[in-house]
Structure 1
Amino acid sequence: MRRRANLGGESNIVRSWPNRISFKTYSKDEIIKLSVKEITECELVYEDRDAGAKTAQLNGLHDPALGPLNRGDRCTTCNSTEKFCPGHCGHINLPSPVINPAFFKTLKMILSASCPDCSHFLCTEKALITLQAKLVCLNSGRMDIFNEIDRETKDHYGAEKDTEGATADDNLSHGTKSKTLDELQEFLKVKTAPIDLESRKDMNRSTVFHKRDIVNIFMEYFRKKIKKCPRCLTAIPSIKFESAGGVTRVYLELEKKRAKSAPSADVTLQRVPTNMLFKQVKKLFQTERETCDLLFDGTGYEAFFIETVLVPPNCFRRMNKSGQKVLASDRTAMLQKILESSKKIKNLEMALQQLVNIHIDSNMEKSITTKNPGIKQKLEKKKGLFRQNIMGKRVNFCARTVITPDPNIATNEFGVSDFVAKKLTYPERVTQYNYKELRQAVINGEEDNEGLGRMKTVLRHLRSGDAILANRQPTLHKGSIMAFNARVVPGEKTFRLHYSNCKHFNADFDGDEMNVHFPQSEEARAEAECLMNTNHMFRSAKDGFPLAGLMQDHVIAGAMMCVRAIFKPISDQFQIQAK
Structure 2
Amino acid sequence: MSSALHDDGADVEMWEVPRVKEARIEGVQWGAISAEEIIDRSVIKVTEATVNRSGVPITNGPNDLRLGTDDRQQVCGYCGHGIAKCPGHMAYVDLPLPVVNVAYRAHLLALLHCYCYVCSRPLVAKDTPRYHQLMPMDPSARVGVVKKWIRDSHAKRGGVSCPHEECGAQQPVYVEVGTTIQTNFRITEYGPDTPQFTPTDMYTMLSVIDDDDLRLFGYSPEHSHPRNWMWRVFPVMPPIIRPASKTGGGDNQLTSRISSIVKLSNDLRRFDTKTLETVQVAKYNGLLCAERVVNPNYEEPVDEKAARAAYISLCTALGGYYNSDYDSKQYHRGVASKTCIWSIYSGGKQGRYRANLLGKRVMNAARNVIGPSNGISIDEAEVPIYQCMKLTYPERVNAYNIVRLTQAVYNGPDVYPGANYVVRGEIRIDLTGYSGDRVVLRYGDEVHRHLIEGDYVTGNRQPSLHRWSVMGHRIVPVTGNTMRIHMAVTKPYNADFDGDEMNFQVARGEEERAEVQMMLASNNLIKNGSAIVCFVMHSLVSIYRIGSETSIPYDMVMQMVTESLDEGDELIHVERRPYTGREAFSLILPRNLTMRKKDVVIVDGQWREGLIDKSVANGPSGIIQVIRIDFGMKEAARFIRRAYRFLDVYGTRVRPFSFTSADTRVDIKAPEGTPDDQLRDVLGDMAMRQLESRPGRNNLIDMYRSGAKGSANNIYQICGALGGQSKFDGRPYDDFTMHYGSDAIIRRSYNDGLTPTELLTHARPCREGMASTVKKTGEVGRRHRQVSFTLSSLATMPRALTHDRTDYHQHGIRYHPQ
Shorter-chain TM band: 0.3 to 0.5
Higher relative contact order (CA 8 A, sep 6+): 1
- TM-score by length of structure 1 reads 0.36
- TM-score by length of structure 2 reads 0.26
Q: Which has the larger radius of gyration?
A: 1
Structure number with the higher helix fraction is 2
